[in-house]
Amino acid sequence: MFERDLVATLECRVAPATAQAVVSTLRAAMYGDPQQRPALLREWRFERVGDDEASVVNIDMPVGLTAHGITTRRLVADDIGLAMPIDAASRARIVAAHGLRLQSSTLREPLQVWSVQAPAGSAPVPASIVVRSDGQRPGYRLGCDYDVQTRDERVPARLRAVASAQDVAAALECRADPAALQRIATTLERVVEQPQLAWPDSIRAVAERGYVVGEETLPAHVIELDQPLNLHGFPVQRVAVSIGGYIAGDLGQAPLAKVLAATGMDAAARQGDGVWTRSVARDQTPGRTLMRERSVLQTDDGTVLAGCMSSSTYSAPR
């Protein structure tokens, strides 16, 4: 009975309550008196490895079990759930068979997560297959997501206002309103703070990068969008967001001359090595002046960034 439920739990074929009962039985076996375990579990070995923040329990079984067509004698339990180790070939097979989509992050473990992308507006399913990278070690973990909440329901209310493609395009072209800029900031905070299963479907990856321009480094979070945008006639899928109100499309090794022409930059716009700017908007409200500059940067390795720099000055109301 337990072994049947365990396999079904790994294959996402049980209700969340049954999956929780399986995990509770394993937890009781790990922390309880080995002599009081059910006969089936008395020869199972439980070993906690890693530090407190990233600890993993390896569960070694005397007899292998088979789930998803894979036979294993080891299971893994962590703060995400129960999983079985798999190799790259099994990962590729599972991902292809279930149409899983990759979302990756260099900011937190697991660095790679393959999961089901539910259609917009669809109801959450009781369980769905999840494949994730195995920390810094080669290999992957195959398990299930038994959280019936939607992606938005997994995050605090303050992080649910997600930027649309139109918001990002407007910001890159220096025409976004304050509400759109706030949605972009909220989306960035969400992907930086939350695990991939709580990300918006529109985000494929996030990473930190330092863009070096004229020997000065511009630190940025780079968000990779699921679908590319059109920026001044160039497709852009990676968007760099930096402190101080800077947002730009990473155009890779795009021809600099064509980018400068498309953004309306002339010789007067050159501010230094690899830097071109042009003021496009100046909005004044009582006590505040918001200035926006269209910007093109060419990094020391030839990467071209095109976007917008926003800055504000404040004065005492008269």
Chain segment 219-266, per-residue pLDDT in tens: 999 999 999 999 999 999 999 999 878 999 999 999 999 999 999 999
Lowest pLDDT segment from 119-133, 167-181, 232-246: 119-133
DSSP state of 214: T
Span between the terminal Cα atoms of the chain, in Å: 78
CA dihedral over 198, 225, 231, 269, signed as positive or negative: positive
Give the residue among 211, 212, 250, 213 at the shortest CA–CA distance from 234. 250
State how far the Cα of 180 lies from the Cα of 168, in Å rounded to an integer. 8
Residue range 25-47, pLDDT digits in tens? 999 998 888 888 888 898 999 99
The torsion angles phi and psi of 184, rounded to 5 degrees, stand at -65, -45
Instruction: Retrieve residue 84's tokens.
Output: 């079985």
**Residue 52 — very low, low, confident or very high, per pLDDT cuts 50/70/90?**
low
State how far the Cα of 6 lies from the Cα of 166, in Å rounded to an integer. 45
pLDDT at position 317 over 60: no
Averaged pLDDT for residues 157-184 = 93
State how far the Cα of 68 lies from the Cα of 7, in Å rounded to an integer. 9
Instruction: Retrieve residue 311's tokens.
Output: 């800055």
User: What does the domain layout of the chain look like in residue ranges?
Assistant: 2-148, 156-314
Q: What integer pLDDT is reported at residue 165 of this predicted model? A: 95
**Residue 122 — very low, low, confident or very high, per pLDDT cuts 50/70/90?**
low
User: Could you give the C-alpha distances from 314 to 65, 290, 317, in angstroms and in order?
Assistant: 66, 9, 9
Instruction: Retrieve residue 133's tokens.
Output: 């990278």
**Residue 79 — very low, low, confident or very high, per pLDDT cuts 50/70/90?**
confident
Report the chain's mean pLDDT, rounded to a whole number. Answer: 90
Residue range 185-211, pLDDT digits in tens? 999 999 999 999 999 999 999 999 999
Cβ–Cβ < 8 Å for 154, 198: yes
Task: Please spell the DSSP secondary structure of 81-129, one letter per residue.
Answer: -EEEEE-HHHHHHHHHHHT-EEEEESSSSSSEEEE--PPTTPPPPS-EE
Helices (H) and strands (E) in the chain, counts: 6, 16
Q: What integer pLDDT is reported at residue 55 of this predicted model? A: 79
Lowest pLDDT segment from 5-14, 32-41, 48-57, 206-215: 48-57
